[in-house]
């Protein structure tokens, strides 16, 4: 057995005990000498595992969860981040705090080059409604956002009017009554929201838009804030 493997193993074993367990026993189960076990424990502790050793008693692992290395696809990572954002917004206080912690831990280990792109993931979270229309497939849209591609859409408004726009998509909001695409509209030279259910057809153009999605997002956010304040005063 590999040393790395053995370390993971040791954590699993430790967790399976509810009462303290002696180093000797652990060493035996791992098939290594007691000396090596001490070294392994030290390594895990250095890695952040909360293992407590009490003299004359044994080792006990604080109830923490250890996630071994995992690979995720881009979409899976999006789901992960989105889910955490949701939990941090809608959980009760400690859960929300925990979700934020998780988000931080994950973002921390993501390479800098991707951290920026996370805003692009900018799948925003809003309170979803009673009925979820999970059948939509927004992956085309998400990809377009990730690549900062312009898109052509045919949109049917709630009044039933159809219209056609070329827009720069930069975020999707997950809201009560479905999902909302937020984009800069080339035709109207303004930010616009489109309910995704109203998007009848969508074509990704082979043309990138120029201010980055992050900048668009920031500007749009600032605008929203201003509107909000004006409404209040």
Partner DNA sequence: TCAATACTGCCATTTTCTGACAGTATTATC
Partner DNA sequence: GATAATACTGTCAGAAAATGGCAGTATTGA
One character per residue 155-194, x = contact with a second copy (rule: CB under 8 A): -------------------x-x--x---------------
Beta-carbon count within 10 A of 59 CB = 20
- The residue written with tokens 């040791």 in the block is 10
Q: In angstroms, give the least distance from the CB of 61 to a second copy.
A: 10
Q: Which does 54 bind (CB under 5 to 8 A by kind): DNA, a second copy, none?
A: DNA
Q: Residue 48 has what DSSP assignment?
A: T
Q: Is 61 left (phi over 0), alpha (psi -120 to 50) or beta?
A: beta
- Residue 168 and residue 192: Cα distance in Å, rounded? 10
**Residue 11 or residue 167: which is nearer to DNA going by CB?**
11
Question: Of the candidates 138, 160, 162, which has an alpha carbon nearest to the alpha carbon of residue 151?
Answer: 138
- The residue written with tokens 């050793």 in the block is 53
**Residue 34 or residue 146: which is nearer to DNA going by CB?**
34
Helix (H) or strand (E) holding 163: strand 162-175
- Residue 175 and residue 126: Cα distance in Å, rounded? 4
**Residue 173 or residue 186: which is nearer to a second copy going by CB?**
173
By the 10 Å C-beta count (0-12 exposed, 13-18 middle, 19+ buried), 68 is classed as exposed
Per CB under 7 A, the segment of 36-44, 138-146, 200-208, 212-220 that binds DNA is: 36-44
Q: Which does 205 bind (CB under 5 to 8 A by kind): DNA, a second copy, none?
A: none
One character per residue 58-77, x = contact with DNA (rule: CB under 7 A): xx------------------
Total number of residues that touch DNA (CB under 7 A): 25
Q: Give the residue ranges of DSSP H helices in 110-212.
A: 112-121, 139-147
Q: In angstroms, give the least distance from the CB of 189 to a second copy.
A: 29
The footprint of DNA (CB under 7 A) covers 2-3, 6, 21-24, 31-36, 38-42, 53-59
Contacting positions for a second copy (CB under 8 A)? 4, 12, 15-16, 47-50, 63-80, 82-99, 101-102, 105-106, 109-111, 113-114, 123, 127-132, 134-139, 174, 176, 179, 196
């Amino acid at each position: 057995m590999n040393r790395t493997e053995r370390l993971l193993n040791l954590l699993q074993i430790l967790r399976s005990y509810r009462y303290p367990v002696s180093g000797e026993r652990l060493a035996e189960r791992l098939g290594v000498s007691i000396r090596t076990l001490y070294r392994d424990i030290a390594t895990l502790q250095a890695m952040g595992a909360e293992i407590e050793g009490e003299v004359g008693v044994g080792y006990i692992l604080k109830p923490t969860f250890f996630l071994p290395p995992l690979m995720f696809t881009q979409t899976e990572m999006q789901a992960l981040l989105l889910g955490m954002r949701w939990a941090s917004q809608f959980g009760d206080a400690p859960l929300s705090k925990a979700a934020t912690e998780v988000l931080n831990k994950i973002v921390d280990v993501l390479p800098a080059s991707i951290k920026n792109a996370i805003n692009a993931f900018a799948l925003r979270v809003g309170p979803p409604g009673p009925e979820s229309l999970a059948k939509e497939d927004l992956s085309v849209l998400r990809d377009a956002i990730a690549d900062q591609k312009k898109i052509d859409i045919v949109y049917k408004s709630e009044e039933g009017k159809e219209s056609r726009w070329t827009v720069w998509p930069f975020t999707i909001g997950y809201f009560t009554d479905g999902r909302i695409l937020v984009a800069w509209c080339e035709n109207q030279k303004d930010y616009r929201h489109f309910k995704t259910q109203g998007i009848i057809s969508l074509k990704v153009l082979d043309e990138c838009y120029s201010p980055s999605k992050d900048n668009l997002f920031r500007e749009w956010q600032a605008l929203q804030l201003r509107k909000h304040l004006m409404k209040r005063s």
